[in-house]
Amino acid sequence: MQKVCVITGGSSGIGLSIAHLFHQNNYLVFNLDLSPSEVGVFKACDISDTQQVEQIITNIAKEHTINVLISNAGVHFSGTIENTTEEDFDKVFSINVKGAYAAIKAALPSMKDVNEGAIILMASDQALIAKQNSFAYNLSKASLASMAKTTALDYAQYNIRANAVCPGTIETPLYHKAIDNYCEKSGADKTQVHQEEAALQPLNRLGKPEEVAELVYFLASDKAKFITGSLQVIDGGYTAQ
């Protein structure tokens, strides 16, 4: 029987690379996103709307066993605690944290029915370390790391594994948007900023979405059957410094 992978935010960047890889390995991929994608079965969804997320995943589960859930949808926001408005804070958490909460909650019954499942949350190196000017985003990614750990412990009895992937600086549309916003506010040169970001990494380059996708696919596979509740860092050595 064909295995099923549900992913949120699978239409661009890391999510698109993940969707491609699972599709290439004969998974039936359901992609919950606002933007359409040619990969898998597209389900238009506002990830910040928990009822919408739960309804779509519940409907998928009525016809398919959900083998893998990848909570990847996320939004970036730069700011200290003083210049993060309550509206900014709510937007970051409604997508990055509440969206993950709704997706996991909706997928668990299907996994419990077959006593098996893999859940992967897309956290960040900021789940492990702090970065300047990143109050709300940093906090949201630390929350996802906690969510992976608690879910792993609560559902180990059902043979359901939960892990968080913690990418460092990966060259994605989200990365470029963040750099563009920074350059617009500061007047910095984008080419120079990009080079400086690469130089900050011990491997002297940014990560690729395809590399993160390979790690996610491994964690979903039987080769990772004894891995749960972990934070899997893929950051070119940045957090080892």
Q: Specify the 3-state DSSP secondary structure of 29.
A: strand
Full set of structural domains in the chain with CATH: 4-169+208-240 (3.40.50.720)
- Name the pLDDT band for 178 (thresholds 50, 70, 90): confident
Q: Could you read off the pLDDT of 45-93 as tens digits, one per residue?
A: 999 999 999 999 999 999 999 999 999 999 999 999 999 999 999 999 9
Cβ neighbourhood burial of 88 (10 Å; 0-12, 13-18, 19+): middle
Mean pLDDT of 108-127: 98
Measure the CA–CA gap between 72 and 144, rounded to whole angstroms. Answer: 11
Considering the chain, what percentage of its residues have pLDDT values greater than 90? 92
Indicate the pairing of strand 160-167 with strand 117-122.
parallel
Amino acid, single-letter form, for residue 141: K
Rounded to two decimals, the pTM is 0.95
Residue 78 has which token pair? 């730069």
232: pLDDT strictly greater than 90 = yes
Q: Could you read off the pLDDT of 7-26 as tens digits, one per residue?
A: 999 999 999 999 999 999 99
Amino acid, single-letter form, for residue 210: E
143 Cβ partners below 8 Å, 6+ apart?
93, 96, 97
Q: Could you read off the pLDDT of 145-171 as tens digits, one per residue?
A: 999 999 999 999 999 999 999 999 999
pLDDT score at 185:
87
Mean pLDDT of 200-229: 97
Range list of H helices, the chain: 13-24, 50-63, 86-96, 98-114, 135-155, 173-186, 190-199, 209-220
Catalytic residues: 137
